[in-house]
Amino acid sequence: MEPKTSHKGFGSRLGFILAAAGSAVGLGNIWRFPYLAAKYGGGFFLLIYLILAVTFGFTLMLTEVAIGRRTGKSVLGAYQLVEKHCAPMGWAAAVIPALILPYYCAIGGWVLKYMTMFITGQGAQTAEDVVTASGESSSFFGSFISDLGGPTVFFIIYVVLNAAVILLGVQKGIEKVSKILMPVLALLIIAIAIYTATLDGAWEGIKYYLLPDFEGMTAEKVFKTIAGACSQLFYSMSIAMGILVTYGSYMKRDFSLEGSVRQIEVFDTAIAFLAGLIIVPAVFVFSGGDKEALNRGPGLMFITLPQVFETMPAGSLIGAAFFILVALAALTSSISLMETVVAAVMEKFRLSRVKSCIIVFGITIVLGMLSVLGYSAWSGVTVFGMQFLDFFDFITNSLMMPVLALATCILIGWVVGTKYVEEEVLHGEKKFGAKWMYRVMIRFVCPVFMIIILITPFITDI
Ligand code: PHE
């Protein structure tokens, strides 16, 4: 099958790597990875995560990028071109980012609010409790999201920022923005990590984060650690969101596929690791070594961390740097989501980039407002017992994405054969170093891991 390169793609290999790394590095790296690592025995989790990244993550990421590059199509056309009965996979790969983008932008709006508060010197307020209109005391975060106006304004600003980059196109928009933002993000995170390491008492936290904790290690705990690391990795590498196929379709055929995927993987893991080096010791110092403080899910980033910054010397500056970092990480991820949907709409309906962008912008605003309203005016409304945001998160992350990834493994491993990907890797490269590992992983190991990811949320509390 001859490749069709219908898009104007990335101009350089570095541009592709930074854009894909920009997609991979997101909120998942910054708040989710550190608290999972802390929860599942520190160094032990890190070790398992690392092994999974170079095997499981590598295999899935390589597969998607190869499908994109070989077909040169957006997700809707790509899966169908691999196998004509696979059109539904293409639809799933377009619907998933269309459902994630709106709620991700709602969270992006919260991040923008915090960033603005810290930059304008009002960061301390975010650490305080406030009295709400009904006379109850609530965290700043709780009262901010339960108000309709603020979150709506910041949500809309955030979506407009995304759309602006998408409108500029792949090279002038996504590639350029990633080439500027990603190095800034890397420098910021290194600087903040060095600073937190110098705080009094940070060492205890660093030890807790890095040294494996085998105490009370049972078979069940090991299983949970592996399942937790697997699903974190899967989300962190932006797998089964259609993104890697789309970005792959913009990649020139003479760029090294294997090497690029390895570099994206290293970048993503390094940023997650550094985020842990900031958050675990910082929260440790603040809470006097209370491990529970790390276990607060989303509240960790919006409630605990501002309190931590509040107690630090130069805390407002660090807080501002931190929230700029989070905003950059979130922005490059949501850009990749939006591009995937816009590319699919452009190809399917033969529309211009501007028109597709307007359509996707409209859908994002409408669906995203459901998540914004779900915390405020419509806080009583639930879908299957979940708030809108949690509902969208659940159907995409826990259901649709693992199913799509499993289907992709079966498609390449068993239906069209691993040659499909291998040939693409060998295009312009002499050797596929990890060929044997790839074959075993895609046919046997990855499907099993995907099934584990799919069933664990239903059988445990991960
Ligand atoms: N990889 C992102 C992260 O770690 C997740 C993500 C990517 C979410 C792209 C949305 C879009 O946070």
Q: What is the pLDDT of residues 60-111, one digit of tens each?
A: 999 999 999 999 999 999 999 999 999 999 999 999 999 999 999 999 999 9
Question: Token pair of 219, please?
Answer: 């078979």
Q: Which residues contact 395 (CB under 8 A, 6 or more apart)?
A: 99
Ligand 1 pocket, residue 31 CB under 6 Å: no
The pLDDT of residue 1 = 42
Which residue has better confidence, 260 or 131?
Answer: 260
The pLDDT of residue 460 = 65
Ligand 1 pocket, residue 26 CB under 6 Å: yes
Determine the Cα–Cα distance for residues 328 and 210; give it in Å rounded to an integer: 26
Question: Token pair of 154, please?
Answer: 């910041």
Crossing angle of helices 401-410 and 219-236, in 10° steps, is: 90
Please give the distance, rounded to the nearest whole angstrom, from the Cα atom of residue 216 to the centre of ligand 1.
33
pLDDT band at 6 (very low <50, low <70, confident <90, very high): very low
Least trusted range by pLDDT, from 47-51, 172-176, 226-230, 440-444 = 226-230
Question: Token pair of 20, please?
Answer: 């894909």
The pLDDT of residue 461 = 55
Decide if pLDDT at 22 tops 90.
yes
Ligand 1 pocket, residue 333 CB under 6 Å: yes
Ligand 1 pocket, residue 29 CB under 6 Å: yes
Please give the distance, rounded to the nearest whole angstrom, from the Cα atom of residue 31 to the centre of ligand 1.
12
Residue type, 315: G
Ligand 1 pocket, residue 101 CB under 6 Å: no
Name the residue ranges covered by the structural domains of the chain. 13-461
Please give the distance, rounded to the nearest whole angstrom, from the Cα atom of residue 238 to the centre of ligand 1.
5
Ligand 1 pocket, residue 19 CB under 6 Å: no
Q: What is the pLDDT of residues 238-258, one digit of tens each?
A: 999 999 999 999 999 989 999
For 120-256, where are the alpha helices, taking DSSP H only?
140-145, 149-167, 176-197, 202-210, 219-236, 243-249
The pLDDT of residue 319 = 92
pLDDT band at 227 (very low <50, low <70, confident <90, very high): confident
Residues 260 and 62 sit within 8 Å (Cβ to Cβ): no
The pLDDT of residue 258 = 96
- CATH number of 13-461, picked from 1.10.4160.10, 4.10.490.10, 1.20.59.10, 3.40.50.1580: 1.10.4160.10
Q: Which ligand 1 atom sits nearest the alpha carbon of residue 330?
A: 12
The pLDDT of residue 299 = 76
Ligand 1 pocket, residue 74 CB under 6 Å: no
Determine the Cα–Cα distance for residues 332 and 125; give it in Å rounded to an integer: 28
What does the mean pLDDT of the chain come to? Answer: 91
Q: Which ligand 1 atom sits nearest the alpha carbon of residue 334?
A: 11
